[in-house]
A and B are shown apart, each in its own frame.
Chain A
Amino acid sequence: DAKTTQPTSMDCAEGRAANLPCNHSTISGNEYVYWYRQIHSQGPQYIIHGLKNNETNEMASLIITEDRKSSTLILPHATLRDTAVYYCIVSYYGGSQGNLIFGKGTKLSVKP
């Protein structure tokens, strides 16, 4: 089972920041937080990941709370093309475990 809890759906106005929350209260010390998104009829696309520190790349920012029990993905200026299902995943790569367990994600609708 997925170790994360996300809202089922969210709306965001085009040009505004989209803030997608994720709870992962059972995360262990060696597990990363990953975010992927899936645009209709396409394979999932990697967005960003982090362990403890906040991270930023050209797509998004990831804010992880100090206790690591929750995180927020921020799309700073959402566009219509950001409409997708966003998945928050906690996972540890290494040893015999190397898979990403997807939940149902958050369906983000960016509206004009």
Chain B
Amino acid sequence: GAGVSQTPSNKVTEKGKYVELRCDPISGHTALYWYRQSLGQGPEFLIYFQGTGAADDSGLPNDRFFAVRPEGSVSTLKIQRTERGDSAVYLCASSLTVAGGTEAFFGQGTRLTVV
């Protein structure tokens, strides 16, 4: 595809349920990032992958959040036992490498609403 694709674009779930958010990066991009953005705030870093491995997961807020990228392409962000405070726009980005001076391309995000 031409850009980073995120699905679904919107997700409404009940408190306590499990959700999966999917990110399809630009073909050939080895680095993939997840952010979340609350209303009026800048994007908040969650985790980034270099290939299949999570190179930095220091932004994951707690153990209810987990992300995988098993084949080094598509990534899934998984949230267990969702809480109302998890409501936000979840953004995915990819870049060709993690070398200095590389630009990241963002998707349009998944708007998660926990009711």
Q: Which of B42, B44, B106 contacts A105 (CB 8 A)?
A: B42
Known: A2-B42, A98-B50, A103-B42. A46 touches B99 (CB 8 A): no
* Contacts of A40-64 to chain B: CB distance below 8 A: 42-46, 49, 51
Given contacts A44-B91, A96-B55, contact A30 B100 (CB under 8 A): yes
Which residues of chain A from 12 to 39 have a CB within 8 Å of any chain B CB? 30, 32, 34
Number of chain A interface residues as a range: 20 to 34
When distances are taken between beta carbons in the complex, the residues of chain A under 8 Å from B95 are 93
Q: How many A-B residue pairs have CB under 8 A?
A: 67
Identify which of B42, B100, B109 contacts A87 (C-beta below 8 A): B42
List the interface of chain A (C-beta within 8 A of B). 2, 30, 32, 34, 42-46, 49, 51, 85, 87, 92-94, 96-105
A-B contact pairs, 25 of them (CB 8 A): A32-B100, A42-B108, A43-B108, A44-B43, A44-B106, A46-B103, A49-B101, A92-B100, A93-B98, A94-B98, A94-B100, A96-B55, A96-B56, A98-B31, A98-B50, A98-B55, A99-B45, A99-B48, A100-B33, A100-B43, A100-B45, A102-B35, A102-B44, A102-B45, A104-B42
